[in-house]
Chain A
């Protein structure tokens, strides 16, 4: 069964009197435990698509099922609960909460979804920080660590709720090349260990090389699909 199933997905924005068709009818399926990249130039619709999949926005038409739920029909509160339980996010600007320590940032989504006891939460956070190699920075605040470290913390935070899907919009855009590869490698290894589906957007061709499945979007339409798992395109 597919983790994500999109059928004729369209999204239209209104900027004043101007109508902008960001997505013009996308259909695709993504299986669990995939490492998928959406590539395309700026303005092609990658971020819009990730926002729809992440229940942060609603499609104008078409259907979108994520983890068996028709997410287009979810209300504000239910959408938040669904995201908390099923989806992790990694943002281009890291978006860590500055008043919380590294460990608390990772723990934050667990507190918000009222997950498990304090002890369990702390154990899970410790495990995630170890997995992303940030155990020794646990008590530091975001302002005290580097960009690469922040993104590793963001990956750990995205995985805190044991989501089935992690969405990463341009996760390496603000990182140097070496750090970018480290983050992608980290995501990839976590995907293998935890069987989490990673879906990320990028326009960096070298980063794209790391993806198992690549969708190319141009002008709101899917223009290409490449499945590298079996050497098929």
Chain B
């Protein structure tokens, strides 16, 4: 085999310009795929991180039917004290769960004593919320998150609402809400901070303390209507979801249906569709790479066989078995693939390092100045490398087979 590799490499060096051009073509293809995957991967990670860590969490648990009517923020689908106790016990026992935060989400009226508008609010336990949605404290455009994030009697107002209602830090505002019995209640709050809007559901909600929310809605026992859950490792999303579903599956409602529903961020955020589109685009870029490698390597190998017909006849005549002739050309194609792929990988790594040193700044929706710093995905690099090598061998198969089937006499007559 060593001898076949040696001869194959010499044959590649024999046509230096052609080998160089083909390798460069493969290099450009590999560079395009790895760079595209790295940048889109970084974009996906950043956006998913923004969405999950700022608001959604990786998973959410609600009472069955809540998400379908989430636009109404129904209070009659709140999780009662027994549900809360059960869910918190299960979440506390799951290895994959890093943190969870109970929320009381509700709609109300927001008044600055001059104007009134509607608002969506989240009653949160600040200590738990910062663990489940750690980027929330980074969304403060005005004010400080501090240690408490939001204390009793304080409110965090979304930026657009603050602008529209002309409220400033320290202003007193009134929140009016209707509780589950239909009666109305109101409370005053001091503006503790103004929050940056983020893309996705809940990105333009306000926040108050969960105790304040309970008092405003006249909830006397421990209730919530949403649990946001943060995982230790996002790779375990499906696994943890399944474990959680299994642990909660015993709880049935009066209709005999599961009492709770569990949703991953993918189901809750429209960004998951953008992420899927990115995956589809990556697939097509890979397909282009496959085409480039297939066409270029096959072209080179067909030429190599065509130009060396007499030589093939000679080596067959002096006792080279067809299998070895086949191997000789396959190794040539393989070497071309490895050469192009290695160069492409090295150039890609260099490009990624350059982009890490000089990250790309971009805006997404209302989010300005996001920094895109592509990372090296070793799995992607290995997949691309193996794909190119495999396609190179496959592209060489037909010319190599043709060479191995040549009749020595006819081949040696070839001019």
Q: Interface size class for chain A?
A: 20 to 34
A77–B322 CA distance with the chains assembled, in angstroms = 6
Q: How far is the CA of A76 from the CA of B319 in the complex (A)?
A: 10
> Which residues of chain A come closer than 8 Å to B119, judged between CB atoms?
none
A100 near B10 with CB under 8 A, answer: yes
| Bound complex: CA A95 to CA B320 (Å) | 14
Does the CB pair B314–A80 fall under 8 Å? no
Instruction: Tell whether, in the assembled complex, residue A76 and residue B322 are in contact, meaning their CB atoms are under 8 Å apart.
Output: yes
Alpha-carbon distance between A91 and B411 when the two chains are bound, in angstroms:
13
In the complex, whether B77 has a CB less than 8 A from a CB of chain A is: no
Q: Scan residues 306-341 of chain B and give those whose CB is less than 8 A from a CB of chain A.
A: 310-311, 314-324
Given contacts A95-B310, A98-B14, A111-B3, are A54 and B317 in contact (CB under 8 A)?
yes
CA distance in complex: A99, B311 (Å): 11
Give the one of B13, B317, B318, B321 with max A CB within 10 A.
B318
Of the residues B7, B11, B324, B408, contact of A56 by C-beta under 8 Å: B408
Give Cα distance in the complex from A161 to B318, angstroms.
Answer: 10
B318–A99 contact, CB under 8 A? no
Judge whether A108 is part of the interface by a CB distance below 8 angstroms.
yes
Contacts of A15 in B (CB 8 A): none
B412 contacts partner chain A, Cβ-Cβ < 8 Å: yes
By CB atoms of chain B within 10 A, which of A81, A97, A113 has the most? A97
Question: In the complex, are the beta carbons of B311 and A80 less than 8 A apart?
Answer: no
Interface size class of B (residues with CB under 8 A): 20 to 34
Q: Judge whether A57 is part of the interface by a CB distance below 8 angstroms.
A: yes
The answer for the CA separation of A80 and B311 in the assembled complex, in Å, is 15
Tell me the nearest residue of chain A to B411, going by C-beta: A56
Within 8 A of B (CB), among A113-141: 113
Cα distance, A126 to B408, chains bound together (Å): 28
Whether A81 and B321, one on each chain, are in contact in the complex, defined by CB atoms closer than 8 angstroms, is yes
Assuming A56-B408, A95-B314, A97-B311, is B319 touching A84 (CB within 8 A)?
yes
Q: How far does the Cβ of A25 sit from chain B's closest Cβ, in whole Å?
A: 21
Q: Is A150 part of the contact surface with B, judged by Cβ < 8 Å?
A: no
A200 within 8 A of B: no
Using an 8 Å CB-CB cutoff, how does the interface string of B1-34 with A read, 1 for contact, 0 for none? Answer: 0010001001101100000000000000000000
Q: A56-B408, A56-B409 are in contact. Are A112 and B10 (CB under 8 A)?
A: no
Give, as a whole number of angstroms, the nearest-CB distance from A89 to chain B: 5
What is the bound-complex CA distance between A98 and B7, given in angstroms?
11
Complexed CA–CA distance, A85 and B311 (Å): 20
| Residues 158 to 204 of chain B near chain A (Cβ within 8 Å) | none
- Contact call A99/B408, Cβ cutoff below 8 A: no
With a cutoff of 8 Å between Cβ atoms, the chain B residues found around residue A99 in the complex are: 7, 10-11, 13-14
Contact with A along B260-273 (1 / 0, CB 8 A): 00000000000000
The answer to whether B3 and A56 have CB atoms under 8 Å apart is: no
Q: Would B7 and A112 count as touching, CB distance under 8 A?
A: no
Contact (Cβ within 8 A) B409 A112 = no
Q: Specify which chain B residues have a CB less than 8 angstroms from the CB of A76 in the assembled complex.
A: 322, 405
Q: 6 nearest interchain CB pairs?
A: A84-B319, A99-B10, A95-B314, A112-B320, A111-B3, A83-B319
Q: List 13 interface pairs A-B (beta carbons < 8 Å), by A numbering.
A: A56-B317, A80-B320, A87-B319, A93-B310, A95-B310, A95-B314, A95-B412, A97-B314, A98-B14, A98-B311, A99-B7, A111-B3, A113-B319
A residues whose Cβ falls under 8 Å from a Cβ of B: 51, 54, 56-57, 76-77, 80-81, 83-85, 87-89, 91, 93, 95, 97-100, 108-109, 111-113, 157-158, 161
